[in-house]
Structure 1
Amino acid sequence: MIAANLPFDLQIPLAGVLLALGTWLLLGRLGRRCRSGSLGQTLLLSGRVSLAGTVLLSSAGWWLAGLEVRNLLLTIGVIWTLLRWRGELKQRAEHYAAQLLPHLSSKDQLFLFDVLDKLLTTAALLVVLVMALDLLGVSAGVLITAGGFGAAALGFGARTIVENGLSGLSLYINRPFVLGDTINLPGLSLLGTVEQVGWFYTELRDPERQRIYVPNGVFTSQAIQNLAQIDNRRIWIEFGLSFSDRERVATITQNLEQRLSSLPGVDPAKDQLAHFVGYGESSLQLRLLCYAASSDIHAAWALRQQALLLIGEVVEQAGGSMPFPTRLLIRAPNAKDHP
């Protein structure tokens, strides 16, 4: 009754204050009903300030300056809310990713959560673009003309940008690797751990802890080795015996194959081999092959160490020896010594 007796100019700000207060109370009530620490509660409570503030400011703008200002403030409020949500998601990405995608691995959770982050950013940019076009009064004909200029720009130099952008989208769809994977690009001699996948560049961290920014277009034209997807790591060791130990080769290789399975960390379902493979310049060349039971690089290093110690032990027990390259210096007759 009181609002009905007020002039129309005063009804607008009063309705805005009441609607903003109602929005604040409603979001708070809904947020308290959600499970503590859940993503829903976080989004509802973090959006109270921006949504209630948007309602209040847009009603004030409508009251003071008209519908155009109100629409502008509403658009700014939507962008404000999206950016606040994005900040909340990035702050506790691992926690919320585990809530939303509990059946996926932690790497896949972070990867898909990164997609959600980029979608929110893209949505905010699109809202800004639409708002800017609306304020400028851009018509459909202008957009078509701009598309023609865009095609020309593509032909004169934007091809690489578009290629990297489309390749970035392909990485999100096909997922040859995810955040945290270690990948190798043999064609470029690049090895690193994936720390971020952007629309145009992917950020790697190499073994020297240096950051490498790789254009996404590279991944559509180069072979990629995803070392994180290795099921078993191969242990391949080449060693030599003295030429005088040729009769001991069969005994040494047989003993190695028999004792390989006793090493901790060996995969019993895969090859465990030791062979004589050739005559070297200064030794008989032998090769040992086995596989680690897991993909963990540290376990593979430990297994390799055990295998090297086993080789030395078996060769010593067989009475053999491992030579090293030697050179014989022959002095010319009557040659003088030089300092």
Structure 2
Amino acid sequence: MNIIDSGAALAGSLQHHLAQWLHVPGWILLPGLLLLVAVIIDLGLYYLMSRLEHRLRRSPRRWDDPIIHGLRVPLRIWIWLTALIVSIGVAGSHFGIDTMARYLSLIGALITLLLLAWGGIRLLRRLEQRLVFPPANCHAKAVDATSASAVTKIGGAALIVTVTLIGLQLLGVSMSSILAMGGFGGLVIGFAARDVMANFFGGMVVHLDKPFVVGDWIRSPERQIEGIVEDIGWRLTTIRTFAGPPLYVPNAWFSQISVETPTRMHSRRLWERVGIRYQDADAIEGITGDIRRMLSENEDIDPDELITINFIHYGDYSLEIMLYAFTGVTDWQRFHEIKQAILLKVRDIIHEHGAELALPMSQLYLPEGVTVHGERDDRQDRDQANREQSSSHDEHHHQSRGNKGPESEQGESDA
């Protein structure tokens, strides 16, 4: 409280001298003078900070610009609030409100803490941008967005806890009581919010181990999770699914499931089976050799990975050839374009050898003299029709002879 008493004595002395010099009541003149000084300092800081921040943006260091950005607005607000609090204190002292100075001092200290916390948060946000996107002439390497987010979140949490403890101490709360209450409260919170704490530590593990980062494509068949990571929070991880809707996954899951990160693969696997007819068995060796040569000369196939083209299986209706190789391209769309081009070239190679792709059909071989049921029925129908036609012809012939008289028969006999 010595500082408060010293400040009050200094303000009273200044107020008395101004009143004697200008012949104006000091409790009116001093607040006006303080507000005028605040305007001058504010304008000077605005000009100075703007120019300084503009120059430091081109600095090769990452810290200069964030510090100025974090302090510029909170410092200007602090100057105005300080001038206003002192002016109110001068007026209260003139009207005999002695306790106002102490309350105003406490309010000023708390506001100063809040402004420092705000400035620190602004600094951390700008620093996160500088870590991910360093200045053009900066020699340091860029930090991935996940690591930068983890640094700023940890720094922000530490800043908030520190400001809260100092504020409680200013309000008269004993630090030992705070620590004791914090230990007991930690046990209570630990039992009541186990899932929340598990998600918190799960998020911390994800930030530290980095099995994936923001922008990665991840999937987990165990939980049917697949999509692009948009944000890694302390409790939830936001994943944009390929169908469109976002998926919010508790961080605790990632310590219990397996997660694949296709974004980090160096190559994509091409694994296909192609079937040709049994009639083309003699051309298999030439076909496999030409396909292997085609893949070896393809610029999109990774030559450092395994390339396997072999006849592997006698299928039910085809002779199967396996194509196994890796593309140097990992982009999903580009990979399927390369895959299409390779499969079409395989088709052309098969046709060049006079062979054909196999179709899922079966061929039935019957012993000589054995016919299928439908063919036998057709033959029986044809034989029956022929017999009926022959019988009808004979009957018509006999009827014609019965209609003739003896003369006709005699004439035919003479003839």
TM-score category of the 2 structures, normalised to the smaller one: 0.7 to 0.9
Q: The residue matched to 2:222 in structure 1 has which SS? A: helix
From 251, 260, 267, the counterpart of 1:225: 260
CA change 1:14–1:224 in 2 (3 A) is farther
Q: Does 1:55 align with 2:55?
A: no
| Aligned-CA RMSD value | 3.6
Tell me which structure has the larger Cα radius of gyration: 2
The structure 1 residue matched to 2:165, chosen from 103, 110, 130, is 130
CA distance in 2 between partners of 1:13 and 1:129 (Å) = 34
**Match for residue 337 of structure 1?**
none
Identity fraction in percent: 22
Amino acid at match of 2:119: T
Conserved in 1, the CA contact under 8 Å of 2:270 and 2:339? yes
Q: Which residue is equivalent to 2:119?
A: 81
Deviations 1:151-191 (CA, angstroms, capped at 9, x unpaired): 13423x42221111112112222212111111122322211
Distance 1:153 1:172 in 2: 23
Q: 2:181 aligns with which of 145, 148, 151?
A: 145
Query: Tell me, which stretches of 5 or more residues in structure 2 are unaligned?
Result: 1-9, 17-25, 90-99, 364-371, 378-415
Give the Å deviation of 1:135: 6.3
CA distance in 2, matches of 1:295, 1:4: 77
Of 80-89 and 273-282, deviating more is 80-89
Given that 1:192 and 1:204 are in contact with CA atoms closer than 8 Å, whether structure 2 keeps it comes out as yes
Q: How far apart, in 2, do the equivalents of 1:302 and 1:81 lie?
A: 51
Q: Which moved more, 1:170-179 or 1:34-43?
A: 34-43
1:184 counterpart (215, 219, 226)? 219
Does residue 248 of structure 2 align to residue 213 of structure 1? yes
Which residue in 2 is equivalent to 1:162? 197
Gaps of 5+ in 1: 335-339
Distance 1:272 1:31 in 2: 61
Contact residue 272 and residue 289 of structure 1 kept, 8 A = yes
Deviation at 1:97, TM superposition (A): 2.5
* 1:70 paired to 2:70: no
Contact conserved, 2:110 with 2:167, CA < 8 A, in 1? no
Aligned equivalents of 2:190, 2:373: Cα separation in 1 = 73
Q: Which residue of 2 aligns with 1:295?
A: 330
Give TM-score scaled by structure 2 length.
Answer: 0.67
Q: How far is 1:23 from its partner?
A: 6.7
Distance 2:256 2:336 in 1: 32
Question: Is the Cα contact below 8 Å between 1:28 and 1:45 reproduced in 2?
Answer: no
Structure 1 partner of 2:299:
264
Q: Distance in 2 between matches of 1:179 and 1:104?
A: 18
When normalised by structure 1's length, the TM-score is 0.81
- Distance change >3 Å, CA 144–CA 42, structure 1 → 2: closer
Are the counterparts in 2 of residues 58 and 73 from structure 1 also a CA contact under 8 Å?
A: no
Alignment equivalent of 2:358, drawn from 317, 323, 326: 323
CA contact (8 A) 1:32 1:41 kept: no
| CA 104–296 in structure 1, closer or farther in 2 if over 3 Å, else same | farther
Aligned residue identity for 1:122: A
Q: Deviations for 1:272-299, whole angstroms, at most 9, x for unmatched residues?
A: 2211222333322221011112333333
- Do 2:66 and 2:124's aligned partners in 1 also have CA atoms closer than 8 Å? no
Residue 221 of structure 1: CA displacement?
1.7
1:25 equivalent in alignment to 2:52: no
Q: How big is each residue's C-alpha offset from its partner over 1:225-260, in whole Å with a ceiling of 9 and x where there is no partner?
A: 111211111111122122222222222111110111
Instruction: Find the aligned partners of 1:289 and 1:103 in 2 and give their Cα distance.
Output: 42
Distance change >3 Å, CA 175–CA 331, structure 1 → 2: farther
- Checking the alignment, whether the CA contact within 8 Å between 2:273 and 2:320 is kept in structure 1 is yes
